[in-house]
Amino acid sequence: MILKPQRGWIRPVLAVAVVWSQAAVTAEIPALDCVIEPYEVVEVSSAAEGVIETIHVERNDLVEKDQVLAELEADVEKASLAFAHLNASLDTDIKLRRASFKFDERNKTRINELYVKKAIPLHHKDEADTDEAKSRWLLTKAKDDKRLAALELARARAVVKRKTVVSPIAGVVAARHKSAGEYIEDQAILTVIQLHPLWVEVIVPVELFGAIENGMSAEVFPELASSGMHTATVVSVDRVIDGASGTFDVRLELPNPDYKIPSGLKCRVEFGDQPVTPALEVAEIPTAQEAPGSAPEVSSASIDTGAPLPLVDDAIDDPAPAAVLCSAIGPLANDAQADRIAAAIGKLASRITPARQVETIIDSYLIAAPLQATEAATARIQEQIRAHGITDAALIEKGEFKGQISFGVYSGKRLAERRRRELHKLGLQVDLKPRLKQKPRIWLEVEAAEPDLSEVQLLQAVARIHPEVDLTVAPCGYPSAAAGDALALDAQ
């Protein structure tokens, strides 16, 4: 090593460096007996008690993780789910309370104007104020009930899901303990074992304690000759010695991706000569220390310690991106409403993307006589109508229902049904036909700014600023929380 002073002075000193020596302590490890065992054995049961309806697998079948193995009878639970599904989709009470609130709000305004003009006494104003406040709280309660119904729907789905038994691991069905029709409470239905990888259990004499370490490789020879030789890796060495037998346990991991090695075999394991603890050598390396402010320059001739230099990989893998919580909130009627809601939840989101969806809804109900095959048949029905004194019937001349006789269009189904029953009593054959229209809806796909943002927090943020808006929160791509149907959204 050559030291070249820049300025000042140099005082030789000694530095101590620890280097790896090529020599290593080795140990002779004889061949040892071993046993090949499954990596994991799972007695698969059900999270709920009940009668087994179906078992989908048999003994020795290969199964994947999360594969459905068995199903319990769940007719009652499915009926409860259907009820919760319907209950969560109803919004009649909210519409009723909203209409009542708007009326009481208008009435309060009128009464207050009359009170200012001293046209009515104070108690009338007080009654109007109280009615408006009560209606506001009843509307809030109706919205809370809808949110509770959504939670009840989620609970009902979870109850039905508990009746389905899935495999917690990928492996082989080792045993089937129950059959369809049997009642289970806390018993195992199936036994599933994981065969990739396998465990190799070795009993090692105490004399070899310290000679086997984690990470060492070994050759495993199963007693089944066709299995051949395989390489396993030490993953566990007991730190407690069994005093009675003078042995300790060593566990190796044996890959078995094609399931060619059966578990339960006896085997022999050979470690061979393995490096145990590399010897350390201390070398004194002359160096120099310069006066403050000086910088020694070292030549390219480095000190050869006889050991290979470690390789340093400067490439650092980028960490996997964290999962982003995304929720769809809606439906919203127009862009203006979407802008208001986006502003209300802006602080909770890292990104908000509008997504448009077209919904087919029933616009009104038409009461009409069936289409007749000939004009003469239509004329006979018109004569029959006039004979009953009905004057509001008319022949539809264009459109989807051209050629049929109309008895009126109704916005509500209840009034339309009443009209249909009245005509049936007169002996007229009429049908109730819904008239459909396309209604655009907007959903806001919200990527949470914080990983623990909940759906309740989103709804509360909207309710504080816009309590009159009734919204639903669902996972992105699933805008119908009540129905649970996947709809493709075209984000703009």
Q: What is the CATH number of domain 23-70+164-277?
A: 2.40.30.170
Look up tokens 């020596």; give the residue.
21
- The least confident of 91-95, 350-354, 482-486 is 482-486
Q: Do the domains 23-70+164-277 and 326-360+439-491 sit in the same CATH topology, yes or no? A: no
Q: How far is residue 395's CA from residue 393's CA, in Å, rounded to a whole number?
A: 7
How confident is the model over 470-477, as a mean pLDDT?
A: 72
CB atoms within 10 A of CB 95: 13
- Please give the single-letter amino acid code of residue 412: G
Q: Which two tokens stand for residue 257?
A: 């991706």
Q: What is the CATH number of domain 326-360+439-491?
A: 3.30.70
**Local structure of residue 226 (DSSP, 8 states):** G
18, pLDDT greater than 50: no
317, pLDDT greater than 70: no
Rg (CA), the chain: 40
Model confidence pTM above 0.85: no
140, pLDDT greater than 90: yes
**pLDDT value at position 381?**
86
Of 43, 57, 42, 47, the residue nearest 179 (C-alpha): 57
Q: What percent of the chain has pLDDT over 70?
A: 78
How many residues does this entry show for the chain? 492
Q: 410 forms bridges with which residues in the sheet?
A: 365
Backbone angles phi, psi at 71, to 5 degrees: -135, 140
* Class of domain 364-436 (CATH, top level): alpha beta
pLDDT grade for 452, boundaries at 50, 70 and 90: low
pLDDT, tens only, 83-116: 999 999 999 999 999 999 999 999 999 999 999 9
Angle, CA of 441, 446 and 448, to the nearest 5°: 165
Locate the domains of the chain by residue range: 3-16+284-298, 23-70+164-277, 77-161, 326-360+439-491, 364-436
Q: Which two tokens stand for residue 334?
A: 């127009």
- Please give the single-letter amino acid code of residue 167: S
The answer, yes or no, to whether the previous bond of 12 is cis (omega within 30 of 0) is no
Look up tokens 């959504």; give the residue.
150
| DSSP run (H or E) holding 141 | helix 122-161
Q: Which two tokens stand for residue 210?
A: 């310290």
